[in-house]
Amino acid sequence: MIVSKILVYKVSGITDGLLLFSLDAVREVRKYSVKELGTDAKIQPNMFDHLHMKLFRAQRNLYISGFAVFLWLVMKRVITLINQLASVSGTTAALQVQADNANQAARKYMEDNELLKQALMEGEADKATAQGMELLRKEVEKLKDELKTSGGALKKSQSEADVMKKQMEGLAREYDRLLKEHQVLQNLHDGGNKKDE
């Protein structure tokens, strides 16, 4: 619990820092983009070059900080998707084990039911075992009820497993889409760096 709070503060601190750098870069670009500062260029010839140099640096810082904020947001989203995928995978495994156990129990009850039916058919000729047959009938009814309960639990767990699989597939598609989008943006950024050189 404490570790997660520390991570939240660190993440918010990084986000705040990146946003602060971006806002400072926007302020610098606006500061050096003003046309009135260039009117004194006739008085000081190097001032015009100096202003353009500062404007270039401010624009460069704006692009770098903006791209860093964008990458930070993409990384946060990817990490969130990976965490959700891991939790869904764990839940799916638990539901699968539960469904297998319910299926095994249902098979056992069905086999017991068949054995009881055979015992009832063989025992009808004997009137002395009427009490035993009554007990067996009660046991059959009890097993039928348990079978219905187990069947319902099996259907419920299978439907939950299907829902979890659909969620996991959706998360995987979203992750792939974000990964492709990140690659395209990375290629665009790398292409922009090559043009600048």
Give the three-class secondary structure for 91. Answer: helix
How do residues 158-187 score in pLDDT, each as one tens digit?
888 898 999 999 999 999 999 899 999 889
Q: Which amino acid is at 49?
A: D
pLDDT, one tens digit per residue, over 68-77 is 889 988 988 8
CA distance 34 to 51: 10
Q: What is the DSSP letter of 123?
A: H
Total-model pTM: 0.45
Question: What is the model's pLDDT at position 39?
Answer: 56
